[in-house]
Amino acid sequence: DVKVTQSSRYLVKRTGEKVFLECVQDMDHENMFWYRQDPGLGLRLIYFSYDVKMKEKGDIPEGYSVSREKKERFSLILESASTNQTSMYLCASSLSGLATYEQYFGPGTRLTVT
């Protein structure tokens, strides 16, 4: 059974703080993703990674950075949190290759920036 975990379910930060969201998967998946989920906007891709130390920008990378030092761990960093980054953040992982593209999601982190 695939397990994707996120470091926090709820987080409250102040404007200007540096925020770290961590995601860990235990299925040796090559691909990892960070999304934010907002009502009426669906899931929007922030960054993704196809391998250790590799990263690619998604649709909304501004204000975010990522780090993937180990295969199982993918971190999302808000360099200077702003109120418009208040959202639900979802991490996901998947195998690489053509066999399957199914993404397995973590439980999400609801971040509030005040």
Kindly list the residues in this chain that would bind other proteins in the complex (CB under 8 A).
4, 33, 35, 40-45, 48, 56, 58-59, 90, 101-103, 105-108
Those residues whose C-beta lies under 8 Å from the C-beta of residue 70, and which sit 6 or more positions away, are 52
Tell me which residue of 23, 27, 25 sits closest to 7, measured CA to CA: 23
Nearer to other proteins, 9 or 18 (CB): 9
CB of 23 to other proteins, least distance (A): 12
Query: Contact, 69 vs 52, CB < 8 A?
Result: yes
Which C-beta is closer to other proteins: that of 72 or that of 104? 104
Q: Pick between residue 78 and residue 90 the one whose CB is nearest to other proteins.
A: 90
Shortest CB 17 distance to other proteins, Å: 26
Distance of alpha carbon 37 from alpha carbon 58, whole angstroms:
14
DSSP 8-class letter at 84: G
Q: Least CB distance from residue 10 to other proteins, whole Å?
A: 12
Whether 67 and 47 have beta carbons less than 8 Å apart is answered as no
In the complex, least distance from residue 75 CB atom to other proteins, rounded to whole angstroms: 18
For residue 35, the cross-strand partners are: 45, 90
**Whose Cβ is closer to other proteins: residue 43's or residue 52's?**
43
